[in-house]
């Protein structure tokens, strides 16, 4: 299986675009019955009737695909959102490497797999600039966790964060998502506490979404593990 295909495949899966899997026990090529479409295995084929993407795999590729499919099944999709400069990318790479990386504003997204205990999280860090926020919803499908990163020193824009939070939570695709709020940049003098942020965002009024707020500093990594622990406890990993 080529690397490019693997990458594309995981992208499709994690955006919920592949709806069906077809393991072709006796075929040498992938073919779609009457439609006559055929392609080398593994292949992504569009199901014309149902408008769905189909992943077709012949025996040669089955073991690898089964392994990956099983692995993907156990994966939890996370989106990391928040206004620009909040510290989202810094947090993502602290999770991944335990170090501070030099960042520049994210255009589009970064995606990384983070393994905590036995839990696999696929984390999408999405650019927070104003012009990018209208496309956040393209990342929503199949999201289990929203990590909202708040810049605790940025009092002026907390109202914008609040608007964005409630806009997101009203979206159908995030109906079942749990929300972890990181009150980041706690190292900054005069920053808002997690309690202040919680009150301003009226988190206690959130009834339909499990939520948790955690103060942190992405530069030192303080507080990040506690946030991840809340996530793993929600999916039953001890
Ligand atoms: N003092 C302090 N600075 C931080 C902290 N976390 C991130 N920063 C800094 O804040 C700046 C922005 O961080 P990024 O991680 O790039 O922010 P972002 O949320 O990804 O921004 P966009 O990609 O534009 O949406 C960088 O200079 C970081 O070093 C923190 O906890 N404390
Ligand atoms: Mg970023």
Domain boundaries, the chain: 2-71, 75-234
Ligand 1-lining residues (CB < 6 angstroms): 82, 84-90, 103, 105-106, 127-129, 149, 184-185, 187-188, 217-219
List Cβ neighbours of 163 (8 Å cut-off, separation of 6 or more): none
Per-residue pLDDT tens digits for 106-130: 999 999 989 887 688 999 999 999 9
Q: How far does the centroid of ligand 2 lie from the alpha carbon of residue 125, in Å?
A: 7
At 15-60, the pLDDT tens digits run: 555 656 565 655 666 665 545 556 666 666 666 666 666 666 666 6
Of the ligands numbered here, which is closest to the C-alpha atom of 153? 1
Tally Cβ neighbours within 10 Å of residue 24.
Answer: 18
How remote is the CA of residue 98 from the centroid of ligand 2, in Å? 17
Model confidence at 1, pLDDT cuts 50, 70, 90, reads very low
Contact 153, 87 (CB under 8 A): no
**Which of 141, 104, 107, 150 is CA-nearest to residue 122?**
141
pTM: 0.75
pLDDT at 73 exceeding the cut of 50: no
Domain 75-234, what fold?
Rossmann fold (3.40.50)
Cα angle 72, 76, 81; round to 5: 130
| Closest atom, ligand 1, to C-alpha of 185 | 31
Enumerate the β-bridge partners of residue 44. 55
- 33 burial type by CB count under 10 A (0-12 exposed, 13-18 middle, 19+ buried): exposed
Which positions are annotated as active-site residues?
129
Question: Cα–Cα distance between 147 and 27 in angstroms, integer?
Answer: 43
Residues 152/192, Cβ–Cβ less than 8 Å: yes
Classify burial at 73, counting beta carbons within 10 Å of its beta carbon; exposed 0-12, middle 13-18, buried 19 or more: exposed
Ligand 1 center to 170 CA (angstroms): 27
Taking CA atoms only, the protein residue closest to ligand 1 atom 1 is 185
Please give the number of the atom of ligand 1 that sits closest to the Cα of 188. Answer: 1
Q: In testing the pocket of ligand 1, which one of 218, 221, 224, 227 has its CB within 8 Å of the most ligand atoms? A: 218
Give the residue with greater pLDDT, 4 vs 72.
4
Ligand 1: residue whose CA is nearest its atom 14? 87
The predicted model gives 200-228 an average pLDDT of 97
Per the model's pLDDT, the better-predicted residue between 53 and 177 turns out to be 177
Taking the CA of residue 149 as reference, the ligand 1 atom at the shortest distance is 19
Q: What are phi and psi of 164, to 5 degrees?
A: -65, -40
């Amino acid at each position: 299986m080529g690397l490019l295909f693997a990458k594309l495949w995981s992208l499709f899966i994690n955006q919920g675009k592949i709806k069906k899997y077809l393991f072709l026990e006796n075929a040498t090529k992938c073919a779609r019955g009457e439609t006559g479409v055929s392609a080398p295995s593994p292949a992504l084929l569009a199901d014309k009737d149902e408008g769905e993407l189909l992943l077709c795999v012949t025996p040669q590729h089955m073991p690898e695909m089964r392994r990956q499919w099983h692995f993907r099944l156990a994966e939890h999709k996370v989106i990391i959102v928040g206004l620009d400069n909040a510290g989202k990318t810094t947090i993502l790479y602290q999770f991944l490497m335990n170090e501070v990386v030099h960042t520049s504003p994210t255009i589009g997204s970064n995606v990384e797999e983070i393994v905590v205990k036995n839990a696999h999280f696929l984390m999408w860090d999405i650019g927070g600039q104003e012009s990018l926020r209208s496309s956040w919803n393209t990342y929503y499908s199949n999201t289990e966790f929203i990590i909202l990163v708040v810049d605790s020193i940025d009092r002026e824009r907390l109202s914008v964060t609040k608007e964005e939070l409630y806009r997101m939570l009203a979206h159908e695709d995030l109906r079942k998502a749990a929300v972890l709020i990181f009150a980041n940049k706690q190292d900054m003098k005069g920053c808002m506490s997690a309690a202040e942020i919680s009150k301003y965002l009226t988190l206690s009024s959130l009834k339909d979404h499990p939520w948790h707020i955690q103060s942190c500093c992405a530069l030192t990594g303080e507080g990040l593990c506690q946030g991840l622990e809340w996530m793993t406890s929600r999916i039953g990993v001890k």
